[in-house]
């Protein structure tokens, strides 16, 4: 179609489950699943659903979660409820798995116990996990069976979850599950992570695997108090181990990354990865906390800058799985994932910058009711040696990959 950047239409499928949007991590928690309902309402009002097949799928099963997670952790996620937590046995098991109910009377801020604020025991937790994992599995299967070129699940992308414990707002690692599904059919799978946080859970699982290459772009920094930006991993020197050596690539960045500098890294690095690794499928975690103005992130990407990563990877014509992830300024997140849905179907030039009436329009007051919020220009040193250094480090690691 004429609307496609490179002239070729893609068959796109899309997963959205309104049950997920009602999940509540608790008052003041940064993670707000409603952002996915907001993105969906925009997608619908812009008429993009007509260009996609809607995946209506069953939730994942317990057995499907066990393809990655250990039995005791899966059982805990199944059994735990806010009420059951107060039973001593379940509480100890929950805490061992880093999920919990924050107790304001316990002075544990800063200690290991503080992690439970990140992963609270919430109403409907088990159902939530099964649904977002089910969406990513179904999306992966739509690529495996060849029915779609691009598959989307904005409620997935929970890259920190580990085999036996929750981490960083993530309970079940739908990305690992989806990649395992893709590996049943595709020889090589590339994972790219543009969330502002390091994709540690996915990297850890595949760091010894040469059929999966993981690439994470993230903020890597130590603040004034000496704390590392979460999760504190993802140095350029971490390149994988054993058979998987050099099949892990980390691109650590400083705060303040803007569109221009981000693309100065993303494009040449991804060109080299696509040529050297030649993946049969690509999974892109589109965490929107790398956008300007995020409540947790400290990058300065615009929606177009962020979506530039989607359109760039799309242009290689390899089956593409698009997942969500972080994103804590909900109006920015919804703008971004709606626009990226338009990029997937090749209609980004056709959708208006005026936010349509869709029930959430009041969230967009601060951005003048426009889809594209503005990123204020920052005056400062344009020429940046640091970017060159980061790029060189990445390209040196890639040079070690067998072609
Ligand atoms: O930095 C951390 C861990 C602590 C313990 C918990 N306290 C609250 C903060 C320090 C060491 N966790 C990070 C987790 C970030 C997860 C990002 C997830 C993703 O985007 O990559 C993918 C979905 C962190 N940063 C900020 C917070 N936690 C935070 C959590 C809260 C909160 C305020 C800040 C949880 C509840 C409430 N406020 C009420
Ligand atoms: Ca990342
Ligand atoms: Zn994040």
- 284 lies in a domain? yes
Over residues 77-136, the pLDDT tens digits come to: 999 999 999 888 899 999 999 999 877 666 554 455 566 789 999 999 999 999 999 999
> What number is the average pLDDT over the span 151-176?
98
**Is the pLDDT at 199 greater than 90, yes or no?**
yes
- Told to judge if 40 belongs to the known catalytic residues of this protein, a careful annotator would answer no
**Is the pLDDT at 376 greater than 60, yes or no?**
yes
% the chain with pLDDT above 90: 88
Q: What is the pLDDT of residue 14?
A: 98
Q: How confident is the model at residue 289 (pLDDT cuts 50, 70, 90)?
A: very high
> What number is the average pLDDT over the span 53-73?
96
Give the phi and the psi of residue 272 in degrees, each rounded to 5.
-70, -40
Beta carbons of 8 and 300 less than 8 angstroms apart: no
By residue count, the chain amounts to 403
CA neighbor of 149 nearest in space, from 347, 344, 2: 344
Q: What is the pLDDT of residue 105?
A: 67
Burial letters 190-199, b for 16+ CB under 10 A, else e: bbbbbbbbbb
Q: Whose CA is nearest to atom 15 of ligand 1?
A: 168
- 341 lies in a domain? yes
* 48's tokens: 């993009």
Q: Indicate the range of 76-90, 151-165, 180-194 predicted with least confidence.
A: 76-90
Give whole-number Cα distances, 225 to 41, 149, 220, 221, 328, in Å: 41, 46, 15, 11, 23
CA neighbor of 39 nearest in space, from 291, 256, 257: 291
Burial letters 289-321, b for 16+ CB under 10 A, else e: bbbbbbebbbbbbbbebbbbbbbbbbebebbbb
Q: What total number of domains does the chain contain? A: 1
**Is the pLDDT at 3 greater than 50, yes or no?**
no
Q: Which helix (H) or strand (E) holds 55?
A: strand 52-55
DSSP letters of 267-327?
HHHHHHHHHHH--SEEEEE--GGGBTT-SS---BB-HHHHHHHHHHHHTT-S-EEEE----
Q: How far is the CA of 87 from the centre of ligand 3 (A)?
A: 32
- 366 lies in a domain? yes
Q: How far is the CA of 399 from the centre of ligand 3 (A)?
A: 28
Q: How far is the CA of 50 from the centre of ligand 2 (A)?
A: 31
Q: What is the pLDDT of residue 5?
A: 52
Task: Provide the 3-class DSSP secondary structure of residue 203.
Answer: helix
The rounded distance, in Å, linking the Cα atoms of 146 and 71 is 32
The rounded distance, in Å, linking the Cα atoms of 101 and 95 is 9
- 300 lies in a domain? yes
- 79 lies in a domain? no
Residues 6+ positions from 353 with CB-CB distance below 8 Å: 370, 371, 372
Give whole-number Cα distances, 168 to 133, 171, 312, in Å: 17, 8, 28
Q: Whose CA is nearest to atom 14 of ligand 1?
A: 168
For the CA of 26, the closest atom of ligand 1 is 39
Give Cα 349 distance to the centre of its chain. 24
Q: How far is the CA of 352 from the centre of ligand 1 (A)?
A: 35
> What number is the average pLDDT over the span 297-323?
98
Over residues 210-265, the pLDDT tens digits come to: 999 999 999 999 888 889 999 999 999 999 999 999 999 999 999 999 999 999 99
Edge to edge, the sheet with strand 189-193 lists 52-55, 12-15, 150-153, 320-323, 281-285, 189-193, 212-219, 248-253
* For the CA of 306, the nearest ligand: 2
Burial letters 51-62, b for 16+ CB under 10 A, else e: bbeebebebbee
* For the CA of 227, the nearest ligand: 1
**Which of the listed residues 106, 119, 195, 230 should we mutate to test ligand 1's pocket, taking the one with most ligand atoms within 8 A of CB?**
230
Q: How confident is the model at residue 72 (pLDDT cuts 50, 70, 90)?
A: very high
Q: Which helix (H) or strand (E) holds 403?
A: none
> What number is the average pLDDT over the span 314-334?
98
**Is the pLDDT at 4 greater than 90, yes or no?**
no
- Give the chain's end-to-end CA distance (angstroms, integer): 34
**Is the pLDDT at 1 greater than 50, yes or no?**
no
Q: Indicate the range of 5-9, 132-136, 310-314 predicted with least confidence.
A: 5-9
Expressed as residue numbers, the domain containing 393 is 12-57+126-399
- Count of beta carbons in the 10 Å neighbourhood of residue 220: 22
Tell whether the torsion through CA atoms of 361, 120, 290 and 18 is positive or negative: negative
The rounded distance, in Å, linking the Cα atoms of 26 and 9 is 41
Over residues 222-234, the pLDDT tens digits come to: 888 889 999 999 9
Q: What is the pLDDT of residue 116?
A: 74
Q: How far is the CA of 117 from the centre of ligand 2 (A)?
A: 22
Q: Indicate the range of 64-78, 103-117, 323-337, 381-395 predicted with least confidence.
A: 103-117
% the chain with pLDDT above 70: 94
CATH of the domain at 299: 3.40.800.20
* For the CA of 157, the nearest ligand: 1
Q: What is the pLDDT of residue 340?
A: 99
Q: What is the pLDDT of residue 402?
A: 79
CA neighbor of 90 nearest in space, from 71, 102, 75, 108: 75
Residues with CB under 6 A from ligand 1: 28-30, 114-115, 117-118, 158-160, 168-170, 195, 197, 230, 287, 289, 296, 325-326
Q: What is the pLDDT of residue 2?
A: 37
- 139 lies in a domain? yes
- 296 lies in a domain? yes
Q: Considering 40, 69, 159, 160, which one is annotated as catalytic?
A: 160
Q: How far is the CA of 1 from the centre of ligand 3 (A)?
A: 35
For the CA of 197, the closest atom of ligand 1 is 21
* For the CA of 284, the nearest ligand: 2
Beta carbons of 16 and 3 less than 8 angstroms apart: no
**Is the pLDDT at 385 greater than 80, yes or no?**
no
Give Cα 201 distance to the centre of its chain. 12
**Which of the listed residues 114, 118, 294 should we mutate to test ligand 1's pocket, taking the one with most ligand atoms within 8 A of CB?**
118
Q: What is the pLDDT of residue 114?
A: 64
- 214 lies in a domain? yes
Q: Whose CA is nearest to atom 37 of ligand 1?
A: 29
Q: How confident is the model at residue 56 (pLDDT cuts 50, 70, 90)?
A: confident
**Is the pLDDT at 6 greater than 80, yes or no?**
no
């Amino acid at each position: 179609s004429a609307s496609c950047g490179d002239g070729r239409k893609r068959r796109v499928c899309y997963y959205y489950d309104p049950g997920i949007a009602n999940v509540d991590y608790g008052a003041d928690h940064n993670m707000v699943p409603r952002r996915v309902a907001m993105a969906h309402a925009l997608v619908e009002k812009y008429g993009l659903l007509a260009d996609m097949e809607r995946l209506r799928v069953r939730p994942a099963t317990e057995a499907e979660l066990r393809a990655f997670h250990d039995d005791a952790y899966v059982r805990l996620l199944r059994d735990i409820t806010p009420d059951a937590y107060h039973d001593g046995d379940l509480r100890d098991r929950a805490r061992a798995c880093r999920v919990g109910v924050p107790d304001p009377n316990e002075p544990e801020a800063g200690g290991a116990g503080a992690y439970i604020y990140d992963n609270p025991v919430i109403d409907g937790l088990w159902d939530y996990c099964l649904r977002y994992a089910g969406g990513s599995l179904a999306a992966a299967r739509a690529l495996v069976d060849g029915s779609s070129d691009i598959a989307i699940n904005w409620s997935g992308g929970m890259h920190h979850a580990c085999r036996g414990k929750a981490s960083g707002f993530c309970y079940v690692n739908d990305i690992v599950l989806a990649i395992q599904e893709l590996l049943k059919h595709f020889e090589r799978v590339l994972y790219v992570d543009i969330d502002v946080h390091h994709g540690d859970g996915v990297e850890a699982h595949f760091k010894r695997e040469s059929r999966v290459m993981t690439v994470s772009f993230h903020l890597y920094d130590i603040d004034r108090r000496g704390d590392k930006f979460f999760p504190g991993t993802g140095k350029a020197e971490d390149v994988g181990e054993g058979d998987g050596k050099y099949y892990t690539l980390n691109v650590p960045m400083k705060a303040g990354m803007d569109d221009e500098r981000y693309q100065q890294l993303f494009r040449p690095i991804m060109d080299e990865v696509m040529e050297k690794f030649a993946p049969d499928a690509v999974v892109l975690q589109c965490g929107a906390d790398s956008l300007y103005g995020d409540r947790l992130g400290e990058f300065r990407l615009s929606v177009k800058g962020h979506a530039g990563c989607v359109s760039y990877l799309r242009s290689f014509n390899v089956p593409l799985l698009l997942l969500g992830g972080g994103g804590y300024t909900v109006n920015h997140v919804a703008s971004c994932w709606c626009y990226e849905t338009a990029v997937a179907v090749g209609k980004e030039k056709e959708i208006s910058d005026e936010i349509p009436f869709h029930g959430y329009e009041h969230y967009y007051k601060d951005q003048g009711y426009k889809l594209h919020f503005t990123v204020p220009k920052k005056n400062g040193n344009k020429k940046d040696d640091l970017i060159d250094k980061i790029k060189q480090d990445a390209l040196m690691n890639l040079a070690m990959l067998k072609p």
